[in-house]
Homo-oligomer: A and B are copies of this chain.
């Protein structure tokens, strides 16, 4: 165990980030606790109620219900599971824009529901008309994305909520990544803006809590009943989570981060991250790359495969969209200095624009 985790100096691909110091400290303190066993670990169980309440503040939900999940995948899967249990149909369907996270594909496989993936529009947002056409009486859930993984785009959430209502389906918003930056934008994305039933918001992404800390919020606490399983030996009556033993570190660091950063610290971080994304987008454009405008702190640019591979070789942790574009996620650990170093490497690998042919002589 002499292995050292790499530093975050060259990590531009992660949806997660370095936990805030206060979040790290709380995680370490609660490392050996298990909110999945509240009869044994009552303190962390109490902290989880506080975490959910504070996540509700972020997502426009008074009297919030939900829990701190292992991450966005679990939260999304559980939202699909709630919808499946509520549906009358033997094999209901879920309607999702193609910008939805792959965890919904996993959920559909695990839960044996049909996933109807519909196209996005020219700006990578859900195509409302396509969603409307795909939704029918067997639709159990409509998914909207508030901060997509590939391009950081926000779907028209209120309108999608109306589509869901029209077919008597539940409406889920995946704000796993976007949830801690969207409050500082003009987007309509949460329970206060639309008819949202369930929402994913991950403290361990832009929330600067320690992994594993995902968040599932539900508009009505009876929705959690769909997930409840009896727990014979735990001195509690039932368990709504997908996992059993859970991380007290994630729960405690969520509370610590929210206590420290909501709302001022997150607002300041959003400003820094967004400014970084816009700066990087501008510089890449100046180098001649096609750039997808960063409406949230995430930049996508059409960099060739050899350039991409060379940047990976140089130690940069970067990844690609499904269409092959370079993605840079401007999480809190991504500083301007890092981006400057990265851009210098990109510039070096960029084929020189052909110099205008000299006409003298």
- Enumerate chain A interface residues (CB-CB to B < 8 A): 1, 3-6, 8, 11, 13-19, 22, 24, 26-34, 36-37, 39-44, 46-47, 70-74, 77, 81, 102-103, 105-106, 109-112, 149-150, 202, 204, 210-212, 214, 229-235, 239, 242-249, 252, 255-256, 259, 317, 319-322, 327
Contact B16 A245, beta carbon cutoff 8 Å: yes
Query: How many angstroms between the C-alpha atoms of A214 and B6 in the bound complex?
Result: 24
Contact A242 B242, beta carbon cutoff 8 Å: yes
Query: How many angstroms between the C-alpha atoms of A231 and B37 in the bound complex?
Result: 32
Q: Which residues of B contact A259 (CB under 8 A)?
A: 1
Given contacts A150-B233, A319-B233, contact A112 B112 (CB under 8 A): yes
Query: How many angstroms between the C-alpha atoms of A77 and B78 in the bound complex?
Result: 14
Given contacts A44-B5, A233-B149, A317-B39, contact A243 B74 (CB under 8 A): yes
Query: How many angstroms between the C-alpha atoms of A28 and B28 in the bound complex?
Result: 6
Return A208 CB to nearest CB of chain B, in Å: 10
Q: Which residues of B contact A70 (CB under 8 A)?
A: 70, 212, 243, 245-247
Contact B31 A233, beta carbon cutoff 8 Å: no
The 8 Å CB contact of A5, one of B19, B32, B212, is B32
Return A235 CB to nearest CB of chain B, in Å: 5
Residue of B nearest to A28 (CB): B28
Query: How many angstroms between the C-alpha atoms of A73 and B34 in the bound complex?
Result: 14
Residue of B nearest to A109 (CB): B229
Query: How many angstroms between the C-alpha atoms of A29 and B29 in the bound complex?
Result: 14
Q: Which residues of B contact A74 (CB under 8 A)?
A: 242-243
Query: How many angstroms between the C-alpha atoms of A252 and B69 in the bound complex?
Result: 21
Contact B5 A29, beta carbon cutoff 8 Å: yes
Q: Which residues of B contact A37 (CB under 8 A)?
A: 13-14, 16
The 8 Å CB contact of A31, one of B28, B81, B248, is B28
Residue of B nearest to A6 (CB): B43
Return A257 CB to nearest CB of chain B, in Å: 9
Contact B248 A322, beta carbon cutoff 8 Å: no
